[in-house]
Amino acid sequence: MEAGFTEGEFYQDHFDSRAYINIFFSSPEGHSDEKSLLVFVLDALSRTFSGGKYSGQKLVEVGSGPTIHSIISASEHFQEITLSDYAERNLEEIQKWLRNEEGCFNWNPVIEYICKLEKKSPSEVEAKIRQRVKHILKCDVRLENPFHPENLKPADCVITSLCLEAACKDMQAYKKALAGLASLLRPNGALVMVGVLGESFYVVNQTRFSCLPLTEQNIKEYLKDVGFTVHEFEIFSGPKPENNEVSDYEAVFQLVALKTS
């Protein structure tokens, strides 16, 4: 990729965490330019987790950003949840919500949307998330151990959403990051990944952030190389490029892959 790829250090200095969630997560519909990308993601995560097929003691999300949407459906099925990100402001946004501080972001519309799908009480789900998120950690997916110098106990499930393609400047870094995710899982543990295909950039508050354009074939090939078996791979096509001013993604996907024992 070009020399100007916006890696973690750029996020630390330039990423406006509150603007990002205001723009893309204020309602379940997400940003109008992105053709129901968020609805697809929330629905797919609900289908994956609501039945209880993937469950256990420990869930780790790698690259949470300033968001909690990825763990709403999963929170019922894991006792101990770790959230993480490279940028400190993202971690601060999560902490504010977990502590229910005045002025924290309002996740209620998104939580209520999922609870309607799953026939659950929003207040009970919200309380469960706050109770079960035990750790908020800095991570760097470019490292062999994303949580260096800490060594986490193997997780039953790892979630990552819209992270790797924004953090990895080339295919070599992407494959290394997938290996890092594998190292966090127990044998037969589940990787649940949300990402975009064919995206080269997205925009937050007029600041442009790079993305590594990926294909379904790239992802499946690299997952197999680092010891995963893909069990599910759902794709939702994006809007026409001329109708989207905030990103140029071709499609969004969610996959479930199990770590080979």
Q: Which residues are annotated as a binding site for S-adenosyl-L-methionine?
A: 20, 63-64, 85, 90, 140-141
Rounded to whole angstroms, the Cα distance separating 27 from 8 reads: 27
Q: Are strands 201-204 and 207-210 parallel, antiparallel or unpaired?
A: antiparallel
Question: Given phi > 0 = left and psi -120 to 50 = alpha, else beta, which region is 90?
Answer: alpha
**Residue 254 near residue 45, CB atoms below 8 Å:** yes
* Integer angstrom CA distances of residue 106 from 21, 94, 100, 109, 131: 10, 11, 10, 8, 18
Instruction: Please name the helix (run of DSSP H) or strand (run of DSSP E) that holds residue 94, with its range, or none.
Output: helix 88-98
Known binding-site positions: 20, 63-64, 85, 90, 140-141
